[in-house]
Amino acid sequence: MTLWDGSYPFYPGANARFPFDTSRAVIVTVFLSVLVTFIVILPGIRGRGRLFWFLRLVLGLFVGAVVLTVQFTRDWETGWVQANTSYKSFSHLQVNADIGLHIGLAGLNVTLRGNPVNQINETIDYNEHFPWNFGADYEHSYSQGLQKGLPSPILYVAEKFSTRSACAVHGQYRIAGHYASLTLWLAFCTWLISILLFSMSILLYGGHMLLLTATLTLCSLLFFFNVRSTPKCPIQFGPVSLRMDYGESFWLTLGTGLLCLLLGLGVIILNSVQPEKLKLFFNLGKSSRGEEEWDKSCLPAEPSCSAQDVLMVPLGELCQVTATQL
C-alpha cells in the first residue's frame, strides 16, 4: 500500500470544506448596504424623530434579513460528537474526529474534522451537502458521494436520511422543509407589505401585516417542530452517539417571530389607546399638530387675524375712509 500512500487508488484526495455560506454572506451584505445608505441621510432628520426613525430602520431590516436568511441556513438542527471511527471503507485505519450533522430546510450537511486535522498522511476536513429541496435528488447526491469515496462516517450519517433507510425520516424532513420554506417566503412578502404601509402612514394595517408576519414565521417553526419530535434512529459511533438539538436558525426565527408579534400588537394597541404617541413614534405628531395650529390661527372667530380684521370693517366706514384719502 505504500505506492498509494496508505490509501486505495479509487479514493481521491481530501476536499477542504468551504469556509462560509455564500448565500448568507450575500444577503447580509445587501441589508448592511441598505442600512449604511440610510445612516448617511440620518443627520438630515431633526430632533428626537431621528432616534425613532433609526430604531424603525434597524428593526425593519433585522426582521427582513432574518426571515430571508434562515431560508438558506443549514443549522436548524445540529449535533456534534467526538469519536474514534474508521476513516475509509474496507480499511482498519481509525481516526479521532469530530463528526457534525447540520440540518436545514433544503438539505443536510455532514462535517468531519480530524482531531488533529492532519492524520494518516491526510487533511481530514470535510463538509458535504446532501440536498432534498425541489429540483434536487438526495439519492443522486448520495451516490456521487459513494463514487467519490467519501469517508465512512459521512456516508454512514447520510445513509440514515436516504429513502432506502429503515429510519424513514427522509420524507418527513423533506415535506417539513418545503412547508416551512413556503411559510417563510409568505412571511417575507407580508413584511414587505408592512414596510410599505408604514411608509404610507397607514399604521393600523401595517400592524396587522406585522401580526401576519409573526403568525407565518411561527407556523414555519411548528412544521419543523413536528418532524423534530418524531423518534429517530440512533446514529452510533462505537460507544457514543450523535445527539441532535435545535440550532441557531431555529432560535433566531423564534425570536424574530415573537418580536414581530410584540411590535404588531403594540402598534394596534397604541393606535386604539394612544394614537398621538404612535404618530409621534412614526414622526407624524409634529406635522399634524402644526397643521392644526395653522388651521386654528385662520378661523373666522379669531380677532388676531389681520385678514379678518379688514373684513369686519363696516362697508360705510370703508367707503368714507377711501373718499377722504382721495
Segments making up each domain of the chain, as ranges: 22-74+171-230+248-279, 77-169
Backbone angles phi, psi at 131, to 5 degrees: -85, 155
Cβ–Cβ < 8 Å for 139, 163: yes
- Whether the CB-CB separation of 81 and 97 falls below 8 Å is answered with no
Q: Please, how many CA atoms are within 13 Å of residue 251, restricted to the half-sphere of its CB?
A: 6
pLDDT, tens digit, 9 for 90 and up, residues 212-261: 999 999 999 999 988 877 767 888 888 888 888 999 999 999 999 999 99
Residue 57 grid cell: 430602520
Q: What is the pLDDT along the chain (326 residues), one digit of tens a residue?
A: 334 344 344 444 444 444 456 777 888 888 888 888 888 877 777 766 778 888 888 999 999 999 999 998 888 999 999 989 888 877 778 889 999 999 999 899 999 998 888 888 888 889 999 999 887 889 999 999 888 888 999 999 999 998 888 888 888 899 999 999 999 999 999 999 999 999 888 889 999 999 999 999 999 999 998 887 776 788 888 888 888 899 999 999 999 999 999 999 999 999 999 888 888 878 775 544 443 343 444 444 444 444 444 444 454 544 444 444 43
Vertex 54 angle, CA 52 and 58, to 5°: 120
Contacts of 172 (CB under 8 A, 6+ apart): 227, 230
* pLDDT, position 52: 80
CA separation for the pair 326, 199 (Å, rounded): 59
Is the separation of the CB atoms in 201 and 275 below 8 Å?
no
Write down the pLDDT at residue 21.
Answer: 62
Q: What is the pLDDT of residue 248?
A: 92
How do residues 262-304 score in pLDDT, each as one tens digit? 999 999 999 999 888 888 878 775 544 443 343 444 444 444 4
d(CA 8, CA 254): 47
